[in-house]
């Protein structure tokens, strides 16, 4: 008879086989009510699962990450059930859990409308309130194929037909609705209390553009209404902060069909872009990096030698010249930096050699994946490669990590989560090389005093990496910087240095990026700050405006003085009311608004306002300039407001 060991080490004995639900009930009625599933010997199972032998068991509730995933998966089934009841001719395909929610793909004769979504969500609510029991049964594969074909569900039948014929197929039912699924699921639909359908989009069957187009209904689900409302508020806030909207409002950039995935930078946007580069250039020079530049177009044989063509070729742009030579537009900067390192004899005394480049790279992304500045096909990396001996890996990695975290603080990100990504399935190099690289990166992480979570199997194809994840003002996480230890590519490309015994040795190459993609980092900044960038970053830091034509000369003189001191200044001499001007430039998120009237001209002062609406009073131009200079030099840690 089973002995059940609980997470705290305590044991419960039963004189007959027992379900997960009954074990939860033996612990307490509250836990039984909250139970969504069980983790039996490390595997998730339904609460109805029967335990007949000794086992370890943890009860899964909505407080667990697995519990939230089960809620979302079960809500996807609830969506499919509601669609089939309202639109019997619709066919169901797949409905997985995604970040913050779920989706389900349907084949239907006409597009779903917003009114349809409202009706579907209302029916889902009715089904949840009906508290229908969810049951599981198992079928042989061929029988399951016949079962779904008999229901007219040809997509489900096709999915099952692709499963090995010896496998058992699990089906889940609730009410009259039955679906294919591995499970587990909530015990009953009454556990699904807080959900919302968010949008409809197109999706190809099995993700292949050669297949028919389906309709994908997206939704979100949470343990309770409070968490759902908080998420919907974040969505609303994210829409307000959308960098594409802000970019248009501030006249920073645009994208158009003639250049998909590439950015047309407007003057103010390019000023912001160059400000990022100037900042990073200063930090890199201070850290001992030398800036280089490698060609964007190189012979394809180089990319074959590096391993990129095999592992990354489908995302590369290739072109063949009239003489039949095949070239690739670089998707990465690392092979070019190896060529620069190789040009001339290198001694161990020169190492570490630190190269940095603001390199333009091109990678093919499906058109459906493109998203403003966040996901593009042409972008600029703040790429760096450091060539070191194995003995230097730890010290150099610690320095890189500290530099990355300090840079993020300058942009308003006080903390960054760090993930350690180990060897992927698709990689170059043998396991012994990967063992050394992974061990070196773990040792460097320990020396840097950083804590990390494991992102298993997500390393680069040439080496393990640390991923630096920023959390923005509304709680979203963005992976930006990386640090990678590479013992493969330098050897593949023939890089070497002369050691202290006059022997050739292959260097270790540390790949590092801090912004990652400048375009993407700029988008993150715009959304994090809702367009209200710190003054040191703002494309326009100051607008000087007149009240009447009588101040034109004074405004011009003041503007020239400020520009000569390096400030980014615009003027507004339009024949408009000053209140209108202030409002317009406030909406454009200009940090400081200077107003000159007759009184200011007579006293040689200026009236200073902030974009937040605070009146800082009158001050002489020299005082304003000095206080602004202090703010810019402190990266916004000090402001004119104190």
Q: Indicate which residues carry an active-site annotation.
A: 334, 363, 381, 383, 385, 465, 511
CA distance 416 to 420: 13
**Six-digit token string for 609:** 């306002």
Question: What residues form DSSP beta bridges with 497?
Answer: 505
Query: DSSP string spanning 228-242?
Result: HHHHHHHHHHHHHT-
Residue 340: partners with Cβ closer than 8 Å, 6 or more residues away: 292, 294, 355
- For the chain, the residue count is 642
Question: Cα-atom radius of gyration of the chain, to the nearest Å?
Answer: 30
Site of tokens 């499963």: 163
| Rounded Cα distance, 486 and 621, in Å | 54
First to last CA, the chain: 72
Please report which helix (H) or strand (E) contains residue 525, including its range. Answer: helix 518-528
Mention every residue, 6+ apart, whose C-beta is less than 8 A from residue 219: 75, 76, 79, 101, 102, 103, 195, 196, 197, 198
Distance, CA of 462 to CA of 99 (rounded, Å): 28
Cα–Cα distances (Å) from 366 to 145, 317, 330, 370, 376, in that order, read 33, 13, 18, 7, 10
Q: Judge contact between 508 and 463, C-beta under 8 A.
A: no
363 token code pair: 């990678």
Is the preceding omega at residue 184 within 30 degrees of 0, hence cis? yes
| CB neighbourhood size of 294 (10 A) | 18
Based on DSSP, count helices (H) and strands (E) in the chain, helices before strands: 20, 35
- Supply angle C-alpha 152, 155, 159, rounded to 5: 125
List Cβ<8 Å contacts ≥24 apart for 121-127: 121/82, 121/195, 121/196, 121/197, 123/82, 123/85, 123/86, 124/75, 124/78, 124/79, 124/81, 124/82, 124/192, 124/195, 124/197, 127/78, 127/81, 127/82, 127/174, 127/175, 127/189
Number of CB atoms found within 10 A of residue 551's CB:
20
Give the whole-angstrom CA distance, residue 341 versus residue 490: 10
Give the CA distances from residue 103 to residues 33, 73, 421, in Å, rounded to whole numbers and listed in that order.
27, 9, 28
Question: Alpha-carbon distance 132 to 28, whole Å?
Answer: 23
Alpha helices in 63-191 (DSSP H): 65-86, 114-129, 141-150, 154-161
* Residue 189 DSSP label: G
């Amino acid at each position: 008879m089973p002995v059940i060991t609980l997470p705290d080490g305590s044991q419960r004995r039963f004189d007959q086989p027992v379900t997960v639900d009954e074990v939860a009930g033996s612990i307490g009625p509250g836990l039984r009510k909250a139970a969504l599933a069980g983790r039996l010997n490390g595997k998730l199972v339904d609460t109805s699962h029967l335990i007949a032998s000794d086992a370890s068991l943890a009860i899964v509730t909505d407080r667990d990450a697995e519990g939230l995933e089960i809620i979302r998966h079960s809500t996807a089934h609830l969506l499919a059930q509601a669609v089939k009841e309202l639109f019997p001719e619709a066919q169901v395909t797949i409905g997985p859990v995604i970040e913050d929610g779920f989706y389900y793909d349907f084949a239907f004769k006409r597009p779903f409308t917003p009114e349809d979504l409202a009706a579907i969500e209302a029916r889902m609510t009715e089904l949840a309130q009906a508290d229908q029991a969810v049951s599981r049964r198992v079928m042989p594969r061929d029988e399951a194929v016949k079962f779904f074909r008999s229901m007219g569900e040809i997509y489900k039948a096709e999915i099952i037909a692709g499963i090995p014929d010896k496998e058992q197929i699990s089906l889940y039912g609730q009410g009259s609705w039955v679906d294919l699924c591995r499970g587990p699921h909530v015990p009953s639909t009454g556990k699904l209390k807080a959900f919302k359908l968010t949008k409809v989009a197109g999706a190809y069957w099995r993700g292949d553009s050669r297949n028919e187009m389906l309709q994908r209904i997206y939704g979100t689900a949470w343990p309770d209404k409070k968490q759902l409302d908080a998420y919907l508020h974040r969505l609303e806030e994210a829409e307000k902060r959308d960098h594409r909207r802000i970019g248009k409002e501030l006249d920073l950039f645009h994208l158009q069909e003639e250049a998909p995935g590439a950015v047309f930078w407007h003057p103010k946007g390019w000023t912001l872009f160059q400000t990022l580069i100037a900042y990073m250039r200063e930090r890199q020079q201070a850290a001992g990096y030398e800036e280089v530049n490698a060609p964007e177009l190189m012979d394809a044989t180089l990319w074959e030698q590096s391993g990129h063509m095999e592992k990354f070729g489908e995302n590369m742009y290739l072109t063949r010249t009239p003489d039949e030579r095949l070239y690739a537009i670089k998707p990465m900067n690392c092979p070019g930096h190896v060529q620069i390192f190789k040009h001339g004899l290198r001694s161990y005394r020169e190492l570490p050699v630190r190269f940095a480049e603001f390199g333009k790279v091109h990678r093919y992304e499906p058109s459906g994946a493109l998203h403003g500045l966040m996901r593009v096909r042409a972008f600029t990396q703040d790429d760096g490669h450091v060539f070191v001996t194995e003995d230097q890996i730890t010290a150099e990695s610690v320095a890189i990590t500290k530099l990355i975290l300090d840079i993020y603080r300058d942009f308003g990100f006080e903390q960054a989560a760090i993930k350690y990504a180990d060897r992927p399935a698709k990689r170059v190099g043998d396991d012994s090389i990967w063992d050394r690289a992974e061990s070196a990166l773990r040792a460097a992480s320990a020396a840097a005093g950083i804590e990390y979570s494991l992102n298993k199997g997500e390393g680069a194809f040439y080496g393990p990496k640390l991923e630096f994840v920023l959390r923005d003002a509304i709680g979203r996480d963005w992976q930006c910087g990386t640090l990678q230890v590479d013992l493969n590519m330098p050897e593949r490309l023939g890089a070497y240095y002369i050691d202290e015994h006059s022997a050739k040795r292959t260097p270790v190459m540390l790949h590092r990026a801090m912004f990652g993609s400048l375009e993407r980092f700029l988008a993150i900044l715009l959304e994090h700050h809702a367009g209200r960038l710190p003054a040191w970053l703002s494309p326009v830091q100051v607008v000087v405006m007149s009240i009447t034509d009588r101040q034109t000369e004074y405004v011009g003189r003041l503007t020239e003085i400020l520009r000569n001191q390096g400030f980014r200044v615009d003027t507004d001499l339009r024949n408009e009311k000053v209140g209108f001007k202030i409002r317009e430039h406030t909406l454009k998120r200009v940090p400081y608004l200077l107003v000159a009237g007759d009184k200011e001209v007579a006293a040689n002062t200026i009236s200073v306002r902030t974009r937040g609406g605070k009146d800082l009073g009158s001050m002489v131009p020299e005082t304003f300039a000095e206080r602004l200079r202090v703010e810019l030099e402190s990266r916004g840690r000090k402001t004119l407001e104190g």
